[in-house]
Structure 1
Amino acid sequence: MIDQAHVEALYDCDVIDNHGEKIGSVKQVWLEDGTGAPLWAEVHTGLFGTRQSFVPIQEGQVAGGAITVPVSKQQVKDAPSARTSADHMSDEEQEALYRHYGMIPQAKTGEHDRLGGRRGGRGTGDAAEVTLSEEKLDVGTRNVEAGRVRLVKHTVTEQRNVTVPVTHEEARVVREPAKGKPGKAFADEQAEVTLHREEPVVQKHTEAVERVRLEKDAVTEQREVKGEVRKERAEVEREGERRDRR
């Protein structure tokens, strides 16, 4: 059971449902008029904690900085909203919450014992305080793969024209006076001379001409990031007076 002694410790506690799942965190505690017994916790839920839901805490258990309540997270999500005025919850709104959670409301015995809960504040005596929170942007960097680069070589065929000097032999007749004994006269005679020529011969060989490699350099550039942050503001509400915002 949760009583008045637990009120101060409930603020900012995690609220755990009956299946062990976190519902949200306590931002306000609502007390019963007259007795001051804790009735409801105003819990901030949702992805960014922007939704407010009311959770019954009379039968809750506080341990390890968290409060475990006997309802499910889905019940809290589907709970009716309550519009509070002058730090009080109307009987009709509170009865709607009792019906939603399948609870039996306490009997009404007059103005001081009515079920209209009032908001509990932190501190002792006449002092009350709340903690204001503010979101900050935490900006950092992480390494991600931007792409891959490969060094690939392939063969390209091209034509080369090279001029090569070649030599060939040609026959020519040389005449000079005969000396000595004459040869066989008036007989057919034949003489042969072999002629030679050079022809171009193409041969290829492979040699290294250059080395190519890939290197990577780190380049630092400036990037601007932006994001939305939320801030909490305190306001003092008094019956019959305008709100004093801070």
Structure 2
Amino acid sequence: MITQEQIHDLIGHTLYDSDGDRVGEVKTVYLDDATGDPEWLTVKTGWFGMHESFVPLRAVRMIGDRAEAGFGKSQIMDAPRIDVEAGGRLSEQEERELYRYYGVEWGDGRRQPLVPEQPVGPDARMDASTTEDAMTRSEEHLRVGTERYESGHARLRKYVVTTEEQVTVPVTHEEVRIEREPITDANREAAMSGQDITEAEHEVTLHAERAVVETEAVPVERVRLAKEEVTEDETVSGQVRKERVEADGDVDGEPDGTDRW
């Protein structure tokens, strides 16, 4: 168990889970309002430690200078989100919800809410920002960054389609026509070489061309996938908390007449 003497050393310390993985930095320790015993701690989780998760102190052990919780990191990060304002307390219902989530019995008659914002002592929240003669006022700022994740996939796939294509090609063919040649001195001898009167036939073979279609595969282009980075502005928002300090008694205020900073 964490002792009173170890509480101050625990704040700002790194908390590890049951598997030895880093969970985050311990932000705050809460004491039970009825007994003054340390009861809960909050650890910074989420992106850049923007959230705080509650962990029951009874499940935290100091092994040398290393603080280890008896739960896994994912279980701690998924714990119910409870936003306790500065000076606020855990309600009984909130505390019951946390006990139920972690499977810890309520028991021991604990019914009083925990006090998170008092000077160090019984029923107090232990915070490293408090000293004997001064109080440090802190506030949260948004720390925004980026993370890389898979947003999609692209692939090339080649498939075959069949289309109809028309090409005009000239074709030739032979036709028969009758040519009549008069008898002249030049062809008289050839004309008189046969019989005078007879029957005869003469046959001519005709030729024609027809279109013939063949296909051949021809490379036409190379296709590849190329990635390029496009930068655009994206606006994000988040809630931040600021501590306020009020002075009671005979204290000179700010120039505007207030005693709040």
Per-residue Cα deviation, 1:108-130 (whole angstroms, up to 9, x for no partner): xxxxxxx9611212279536667
2:16–2:22 contact (8 Å) kept in structure 1: yes
Query: How far, CA to CA, are the matches of 1:117 and 1:84 in structure 2?
Result: 15
Amino acid at match of 1:214: R
Which AA in structure 1 matches 2:123?
G
Gaps of 5+ in 2: 100-104, 111-120, 249-257
Aligned to 1:111: none
Q: CA deviation at 1:225?
A: 4.5
With normalisation by structure 2, the TM-score equals 0.52
Match of 1:199 in 2: 207
Partner of 2:11: 11
Q: What value does the CA root-mean-square deviation take over the aligned residues?
A: 5.5
* Alpha-carbon offset, residue 200 of structure 1: 0.8
Partner secondary structure for residue 28 of structure 1: strand
Name the residue aligned to 1:120. Answer: 126
Structure 2 CA distance, aligned partners of 1:158 and 1:131? 77
Do the aligned partners of residues 132 and 214 (structure 1) sit closer, same or farther apart at CA in structure 2, a change above 3 Å counting? same
Equivalent residue, structure 2, for 1:110: none
Larger Cα-atom Rg: 1
Residue 14 (structure 1) shift: 3.1
Q: CA shift at 1:210, angstroms? A: 5.4
Is 2:154 the counterpart of 1:146?
yes
SS of 2:176's equivalent in the other structure is: coil
- Pair 1:128–1:215, CA change in 2 (3 A): same
For 1:103, the aligned partner's letter is D
Q: CA deviation at 1:68?
A: 2.9
Task: State the number of aligned residues.
Answer: 218
Residue 108 of structure 2, aligned match among 99, 103, 107: 103
Deviations 1:72-97 (A, max 9, x none): x69x9579997774x8x69xx68995
Q: Closer, same or farther in 2 for the Cα pair 1:167/1:200, shift >3 Å?
A: same
Partner residue, 2:69 = 68
TM-score, reference length from structure 1: 0.54
Tell me the percent identity. Answer: 14
Distance in 2 (CA, whole Å) between partners of 1:79 and 1:212 is 61
What is the CA deviation profile of residues 46-101 of structure 1, one whole-angstrom value per residue up to 9, with x for unaligned ones?
A: 86764664x5536742237434369xx69x9579997774x8x69xx689959972
For structure 1, which segment, 216-225 or 123-132, has the greater mean C-alpha deviation from structure 2 after superposition? 123-132
Change (3 A) 1:65 1:243: farther
Shift of 1:158: 2.7
CA distance in 2, matches of 1:59, 1:159: 84
CA gap 1:142/1:131 in 2 versus in 1, 3 angstroms: same
Runs of 5+ in structure 1 lacking a partner? Answer: 106-114
Q: C-alpha distance in 1, partners of 2:216/2:225?
A: 27
